[in-house]
Amino acid sequence: MSRGNTQQKNPRFQLVQTGEVTIRWRLLGGNNVSLGSAPADYPRAEDCLTAIAWLTAHITELTSDFSHLSGGRWRWRLSTGERVVAVASHAYGRRIEAQRGLDRFRSATTEAAIGEGIETIADWRRKYRRNSVGDSPNRFP
């Protein structure tokens, strides 16, 4: 019995609006979990799309490294020379899990479609951030 969801569950890039005029890409796995993201915001969607295209063309040439954060949390990042081009979306409990996450990211990057299918969403976390006075920009009246 079909549940009516015929959408394929393939990896895909998504653009996330992080500010009034800034945007960042992230790569989602087939299960909609974020596998990795851009290390910084871009001023325009076109710049983000250019970065995605460059990443997919050079994914096998990139150098990876791992950092160990307090509390036993591991993160990976990919770079070319001194420039970081992709980072883990979240921390992992063990280094081997971070390595597996990086492997999934690399694999999904080559499988993800680029082009008209990239969706843009607003970063929902912005809605709940507070300014230095402690006020949320989206308070209820």
Per domain, the residue ranges of the chain are 12-128
Distance between CA atoms of 139 and 133, rounded to whole angstroms? 13
> What pLDDT shows up at residue 90?
92
In this prediction, residues 79-96 reach a mean pLDDT of 94
Q: Are 78 and 61 in contact (CB under 8 A)?
A: no
Mean of the per-residue pLDDT values of the chain: 82
- Looking at 64-68, 82-86, 111-115, which range is the least confident one? 111-115
How many other C-beta atoms can be found within 10 angstroms of the C-beta atom of residue 119? 10
Note the pTM of the prediction, 2 decimals: 0.77
> Sorting pLDDT into bands at 50, 70 and 90, what band is 28?
very high
Q: CA 60, CA 38: separation in Å to the nearest integer?
A: 17
Given CA atoms 82, 86, 91, 97 in this order, what sign does their dihedral have?
A: negative
39, 25 Cβ separation under 8 angstroms:
no
Strands 83-87, 73-80: pairing kind:
antiparallel
User: 39 near 87, Cβ under 8 Å?
Assistant: yes
Which of 3.40.50.970, 2.30.29.80, 3.50.50.60, 3.40.50.2300 would CATH assign to domain 12-128?
A: 2.30.29.80
Taking alpha carbons only, the member of 90, 99, 13, 92 closest to residue 48 is 13
